[in-house]
Amino acid sequence: MNSLANKSVLVAGLGASGVAACELLLKRGARVTAVDSGDGKSLRELAGKLHEQGVKVSLGAKAAPVGEFDLAVVSPGVPLELPLMRELAARKVPVIGELELGFQNSSCLNISITGTNGKTTTTELVARILAHTQRKTVAAGNIGLPLCAVADQTKELDFLTLEVSSFQLETIQFFRPSVAVLLNITPDHLDRYDSMDDYRRAKARLFENQQAFDWAIVQGAALAQLTALGVKLPSKVVTFSATDSAADIHFDRGLLISRVEGWEGPLLDMNTCQLRGPHNAENLMAALAVSRTLRLPLETTIEALRTYAPGSHRCELVAEINGVKFVNDSKATNVDAVAKAIQSMPAGPDGPRNVWLIAGGKDKGFDYHEVGPLLAQRVKGALLLGETREKIRAAWSLFTPCTVVDSLLEAVSKSAGQAVAGDVVLLSPACSSFDMFRNYQQRGEFFSDAVRAFGATAGGGAPAGATTNGAAAVEAGTPGTRREPVNERK
């Protein structure tokens, strides 16, 4: 990109992305002004540290930029409809996102992964494959490590492995993945987008700067949605699907099977992996397709996939107490993710209706009715909390008994008190966490601590604190703080 030296740059939003952008801009010699609508204690302390480095910081709801700017860098949690963004547009100030700034200052090719669900799992799978095949990479982006924070490391890397959200794609300019992966598109972030088509178009921006020699790895159903919008992919395309046998890579009775020319036949038996479920089959297929486009050894790739264990807050078994499994799926921040989690739970000795579901949080504009039939089949009762609790109760009460609670601690206590051996208590909120917690991680940790405290007093079963990230016990796995929703999307 053009030199940033002595340029006046505004950074909007001081979450992790905004701070990383400020630090990179300072390294490039820019004069940096930062604004954030928050004004809590921790944010004021952060502002003080940035001020010491030479950043002008303005905080509070009335924070406004002062002076003329050559460029503005916006954090993904800052909607483009805010008055500040409209003012910058009126001033004709170029606006890019932190992802774009990091890309323009990076020195290696990138593999970028987006989708409503499964982004983090697939990003981790791809990074693991690269490491196992002796390629240097860093997993960054929406996974929690801003691209701007690692831009200077890219001279030493073979590839960047990036998790990319729709929010980040709204503000790209030249961003171009050599390999772009789209896992799925299901309803999410309808509090930010006017329609599902707007959300789909944001996801489609992942491909807009690709060239004919790049690769697009796309779930079959997602490709159909883009095609219906008139989106054309400029790169070479590989499709995958857990339900469509006509896809280039498909799922058949536990096997991942390829029909890619020169790569035909079974690739991987999911029974040899720690991941479970059709949604994770698609995550694995996408990772395999990335490996193929990079011409990495299949045997080493498969070993990396077989030994991968899903991370925390993704259908994570916290403990089994007196025959009741307690599962932390705090990362499920939309309805489709909750459906996949419920479907992945093991049935009980008395049948499949053995799940006590804890849900609720900050509303993202969903219609919660669509999961109703599944609730009727699998859920004994739902414990609902947060700002969406009444909205969800109105949607779900026809399908399963619903109880409104005031806290997550109360939800754990009531569900644990009603559950019997063979049941599952599942935290799978279908909402973001920002009404009650800093992020989904804090929500999941609070749930896990509450379960362990219950285990310590209840006695029996697995010892309190017993936690497993794998699927050995649960056949599952899904795909006063600055509340920037980075890495809050599953």
pLDDT in tens, 161-170: 999 999 999 9
Torsion region of 471: left, alpha or beta (phi above 0 gives left; psi -120 to 50 gives alpha): alpha
> Residue 484's pLDDT is what?
40
User: Is the per-residue pLDDT at 479 higher than 50?
Assistant: no
- Per-residue buried b or exposed e for 348-370, using 16+ beta carbons within 10 Å of the residue's own CB: beeeebbbbbbbbbbbbebebee
How many Å apart are CA 45 and CA 462, to the nearest integer?
42
**pLDDT for residue 143 is more than 80:** yes
Give dist(CA 6, CA 138) in Å, integer.
Answer: 30
pLDDT at 105 over 90: yes
CA distance 310 to 147: 23
Most confident of 49-63, 209-223, 263-277: 209-223
> Is pLDDT of 389 > 90?
yes
Instruction: Report the chain's mean pLDDT, rounded to a whole number.
Output: 91
Per-residue exposure over 322-346, b if at least 16 CB sit within 10 Å of its own CB, e if not: eebbbbbbbbbbbbbbbbbbbbbbb
Average pLDDT over residues 352-381: 95
Tokens of 98: 């932190």
The domain covering 106-306 belongs, at the CATH homologous superfamily level, to Mur-like, catalytic domain (3.40.1190.10)
Cα 179 → chain centroid: 19
Please state the CATH superfamily assignment of the domain spanning residues 8-93 in this structure.
Answer: NAD(P)-binding Rossmann-like Domain (3.40.50.720)
pLDDT in tens, 231-273: 999 999 999 999 999 999 999 999 999 999 999 999 999 999 9
Q: Looking at 34-43, 81-90, 136-145, 458-467, which range is the least confident one?
A: 458-467
Given a contact cutoff of 8 angstroms between Cβ atoms, the answer to whether 1 and 104 are in contact is yes
Mean pLDDT within 164-185? 97
Residue intervals in the chain for CATH 3.40.1190.10: 106-306
Please say if the pLDDT value at position 480 is more than 70. no
pTM of the model: 0.82
Q: Which pLDDT band holds residue 205 (cuts at 50, 70, 90)?
A: very high
Residue 490 has pLDDT above 60, yes or no: no
pLDDT at 175: 98
- From-to residues of CATH 3.90.190.20 in the chain: 316-458
**Structure confidence at residue 382 as a pLDDT band (50, 70, 90):** very high
Question: Start-end ranges of CATH 3.40.50.720 in the chain?
Answer: 8-93
What pLDDT is recorded for position 62?
A: 66
Q: Which fold has domain 316-458?
A: Protein-Tyrosine Phosphatase; Chain A (3.90.190)
